[in-house]
A and B are shown apart, each in its own frame.
Chain A
Amino acid sequence: MRFIKRTTYMHDIQLFRYRSTLVWYLLLGVVVLAAPLSMGAYGMSLLTLVGIYAIVALGLNLLTGFTGQISLGHAALFAVGAYTSAILTGTHGVSFWLALPAAGILAAIVGIFIGLPALRLKGLYLAIATMGLGFIVEEIIVHWSSMTGGVNGLAVSRPVLGAFEFSSDDSFYYLVVSILFIMTVIMKNLLRTPTGRAFVAIRDSDVAASSMGINLAAYKTIAFCISAFYAGIAGSLFAHFMYFIGPENFTFLISISFLVMIVVGGVGSVHGAVFGAIFITLLPEFISFTRGYLPEVIGKQVGLQEATYGLVLILFLRFEPMGLYGRWLKIKFYFEHFPFYKKDTFKRERKFYRTEH
């Protein structure tokens, strides 16, 4: 076990509480920055996708993991970001560096419109309303073809900075990594200040939260807006990375896969968002790899990936509701406190009350 002598209140607030943690993160930073040296083009494109999805998962985790609201339509907000950026840079010749924040802001505005009526009510209504948003946006993409290219999709170019074009996968990877870094620091900052605490308070007890002076509707809306903003930024990056976007990139199943990311990674943890993004990006690779080894009846199935999503989701919710990050914490705790590890240490509180009428 480690102890620290606190000499200032900053000790409790710092991002890295121990010097060793800082060292580990610096090491991780070096590995992330050096990745292009050892990875092929395909590996790099996977890593870039991990970064983009991690931004969505960060935002969604703020909404779902920390504030306790469910969005079944994050693919739609992701789409709003992607199309905003694609149309602004493509049709109107706006610079990517303006289109990127615009994508985030527009997604947040769409988020307000859809979220506002539902956020006054129980979490379930937001789930249903965002599901509706998902289907409506999908139809808009298909039918407003003069703007979105309809089912034919839309071609998108890579961003340019001065004379430099982010055309290589390595350079785009660095762009995504730096934006992910900024977004992570912002998230961490929010979570250690009154804003972040208010979000968690709403999740745990809305009555107590409002008696502490937290305006429930306002904070839920802010959480949803920030979450939408993250999805919009990620959407913009996605569009410019893929060179091409179409309605098939933004279906209901994509919304679900975003949720799978945070469940698998760890609901209510910043690390979990990254773990989840890695998992979801690598899962299809893993499945296509194993197809050859599976019995033919299963291996040849088209729906194998969806089935795995479903199965993984059920298994995690049932046996490891804290996700990969929770598992990691337990393993770490086990070694740090050996041999005093008790299963109950991580036992969570269950609530058995029903809404009273």
Chain B
Amino acid sequence: MRERQFFSVQNLSIRFGGIQALKDVSLEVKPGSIHALIGPNGAGKTTILNCISRVYKADGGTVVFKGEDVSRLKPHQVVSRGISRTFQNIELFSNMTVMDNILLGRHSKRQTSLLNDALFWGKSQRQEMQFRERVEEIIDFLDLQAYRNLPISRIPYGVQKNVELARALAAEPDLLLLDEPSSGLNVEETQDLAFWIEDIKEDFGITILLVEHDMRLVMDVCDAATAFNYGSVLAYGTPADVVKDPEVVKAYLGEEG
């Protein structure tokens, strides 16, 4: 008997036109761990996240989360199962304030009906207060107080990345998918990010699967890593082992390396 897995991807495949973007990809994420997906550009890392969150429809394979096959869900159902995500090229609601963006992260927790909302009485009002309370906690956690009521288009890029993280956290996921969280951040911001990622694991008990190029960050915070190239898994293990793997070195540096 196999023990019940927290999160696993089995034989995931997807093809865009003539390109096989993922070929029989399998991986497993242990509960309470920080797991990195690494590999050269175009290796298919983001595609995996997109398949898990159902932005892309995979051609084959399954994604199992807490014993349930989540690979046939509609895109909007994924978050209600406990998986939320951020995007590589920021996908915030650019005409809304930071506050409203994070509040949207709580959409999956919504209990009210359209009628409740239209009257804004009792349940709807209480829910709105609860949402705001939780959002303020996240704002405090990620140091976003100064930006609370500014529209997204008027805050710096690094802060926008934090708002994405905050929005994903607001959904109170069990598994958090981060797509290149450190890209575009300066050194200091990246260090802050490293602390937050560890805190998210420690304090909230959220498992994290992230795509990351910054190997320092991966080595510092991740418990496990899977390396890819050309849509296939090259190596799996602790970050330190994976970067030493000859296949991985070859993929990064070319044949001579």
* 8 A Cβ contacts from B41-99 to A: 53, 55, 74-80, 84-85, 87, 91-96, 99
Number of A-B contacts (CB under 8 A): 120
What are the residues of chain A within 8 A of B167 when measuring CB–CB? 212
Set of chain A residues within 8 Å of B124, measured between Cβ atoms: 189, 193
Question: Contacts A12-B132, A193-B128, A215-B76; is A198 near B104 (CB within 8 Å)?
Answer: yes
- B159 smallest CB distance to A (angstroms): 15
Smallest beta-carbon distance B87→chain A, Å = 7
* Interchain CB contact under 8 A, B128 and A192: yes
CB–CB A216/B94 < 8 A: no
Of listed B96, B112, B117, B129, residue having the most chain A CB within 10 A: B117
Q: CB-CB < 8 A to B108: which residues of A?
A: 212-213
Q: Is the CB of A349 within 8 A of B153?
A: yes
Residue in contact with B91 in the complex, picked from A12, A207, A215, A348, CB distance below 8 Å: A207
Write the B107-141 contact mask toward A (1 if CB under 8 angstroms, else 0).
11010101011111000110111011100100000
For the residues of B in contact with A, the DSSP-based class is helix
B117 touches A195 (CB 8 A): yes
Residues in chain A near residue B100, CB distance under 8 A: 197, 200
Q: Is A162 an interface residue (CB 8 A)?
A: no
Q: What residue in chain A is nearest B177 (Cβ atoms)?
A: A211
B132 touches A349 (CB 8 A): no
Interface residues on B, range: 35 or more
Q: Is the CB of A215 within 8 A of B74?
A: yes
Contact A189–B120 (Cβ < 8 Å)? yes
Q: Is the CB of B118 within 8 A of A186?
A: yes
Given A193-B112, A200-B95, A201-B104: A208 and B76 interface contact (C-beta under 8 Å): no
Interface membership of A214, Cβ < 8 A: yes
B107 touches A213 (CB 8 A): yes
Q: Taking the nearest CB of chain B, how far is it from the CB of A34, in angstroms?
A: 29
Q: Which of B78, B99, B128 has the most CB of A within 10 A?
A: B128
Does A319 count as interface, using CB distance less than 8 angstroms? no
A: number of interface residues (CB 8 Å): 35
Q: How far is the CA of A197 from the CA of B119 in the complex (A)?
A: 16
Contact B53 A211 (CB under 8 A): yes
CA distance A347 to B151 in the complex (A): 11
Docked pose: A48 CA to B233 CA in angstroms:
69
Q: Are A9 and B133 in contact (CB under 8 A)?
A: yes
Is B227 at the interface (CB under 8 A from chain A)? no
B171 CB–A CB distance under 8 Å: yes
Residues on B with beta carbons closer than 8 Å to the beta carbon of A186: 118-119
Which of B92, B128, B171 makes the CB contact (< 8 A) with A213? B171
Q: By the criterion CB–CB under 8 Å, are B120 and A211 in contact?
A: no
Whether B93 and A198, one on each chain, are in contact in the complex, defined by CB atoms closer than 8 angstroms, is no
Determine if B104 and A195 form an interchain contact, defined as CB atoms under 8 angstroms apart. no
Contact with B along A204-232 (1 / 0, CB 8 A): 11011111111110000010000000000
Q: From residue A62, how far is it (CB to closest CB) to chain B in Å? A: 12
**A256 to B122 CA separation, bound complex (whole angstroms):** 39
Which of A12, A196, A214, A349 sits near B94, CB closer than 8 Å?
A349
Out of A13, A193, A201, A212, which one reaches B79, CB within 8 Å?
A212
Does B93 lie within 8 Å of A200, measured CB to CB? yes
By a CB distance below 8 angstroms, the chain B residues around A214 are: 76, 104, 107
Is residue A194 within 8 Å, beta carbon to beta carbon, of the partner chain?
A: yes
A308 to chain B, nearest CB (A): 30
* Contact A200:B110 (CB < 8 A) given known A190-B118, A212-B171, A214-B76: no
B76 engages A210 (CB within 8 Å): yes
Residue of A nearest to B87 (CB): A208
A161 at the interface (CB under 8 A from B): no
Which residues on A sit within 8 Å (CB–CB) of B104?
Answer: 197-198, 201, 209, 212, 214
Closest CB-CB distance, B105 to chain A, in whole Å?
6
Contact residues in A for B55 (Cβ distance below 8 Å): 207, 210-211
B103 within 8 A of A: yes
A193 (CB) vs chain B CBs: closest residue: B117
Known: A193-B117, A194-B106, A213-B80. 7 other contacts (CB 8 A): A189-B124, A200-B96, A205-B91, A210-B75, A210-B76, A212-B79, A347-B153
Provide 29 A-B residue pairs closer than 8 Å at the C-beta atoms, listed in order of the A residue: A9-B133, A12-B132, A186-B118, A189-B119, A190-B118, A194-B131, A197-B96, A197-B104, A198-B104, A198-B107, A200-B96, A200-B100, A204-B93, A207-B87, A207-B91, A208-B87, A208-B93, A211-B55, A211-B85, A211-B87, A212-B79, A212-B107, A212-B171, A215-B76, A216-B76, A348-B95, A349-B94, A349-B95, A349-B153
